[in-house]
């Protein structure tokens, strides 16, 4: 279903800009710090809202395929990793390692894009 414009990410970006450009300059001390924290949270929420969720669906499907767990495949994968099921030399080590690297990149793209050189 197509969302009506403006979308959530756009609204958050507009509100964040207003906070940073119009309100923050009038604040000082802990109020300015709090406003910057709010602006940072708004930026994270906007990036999360704008992100394509197809990778989440694909990753979950891969976890289900690897673990056989229909419910909570992420927990099943974590448990299998802790037991060494995907250690180097195992049949699916490279696949699981690539999936975890991709998931870490996707999470960083939301919460810390500067780490990836995107912010």
* pLDDT 10s digits, 5-40: 568 888 899 999 999 999 999 999 999 999 999 999
Residues with Cβ < 8 Å from 44, sequence gap 6 or more?
110, 111
Q: What is the pTM of this model?
A: 0.70
Query: What is the signed CA dihedral for 58, 61, 67, 70, rounded to 10 degrees?
Result: 150
Q: Are 49 and 12 in contact (CB under 8 A)?
A: yes
DSSP 3-state of 72: coil
Handedness of CA 10, 12, 15, 17 (dihedral sign): negative
HSE of 22, CA atoms in CB hemisphere, 13 A: 6
pLDDT digits (tens, 9 = 90+) for 36-91: 999 999 999 988 888 878 888 999 999 999 999 999 999 999 999 999 999 999 99
């Amino acid at each position: 279903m197509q969302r009506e414009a403006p979308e959530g990410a756009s609204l958050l970006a507009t509100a964040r800009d207003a906070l940073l450009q119009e309100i923050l300059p009038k604040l000082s001390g802990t109020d300015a710090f709090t406003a910057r924290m709010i602006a940072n949270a708004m930026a994270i929420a906007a990036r999360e809202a704008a992100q394509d969720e197809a990778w989440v669906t694909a990753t979950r499907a891969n976890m289900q395929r690897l673990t056989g767990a229909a419910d909570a495949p992420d927990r099943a994968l974590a448990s299998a990793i802790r037991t060494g099921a995907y250690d180097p030399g195992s049949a699916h080590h490279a696949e699981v390692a690539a999936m975890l690297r991709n998931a870490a990149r996707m999470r960083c793209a939301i919460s810390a894009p500067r780490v990836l050189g995107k912010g």
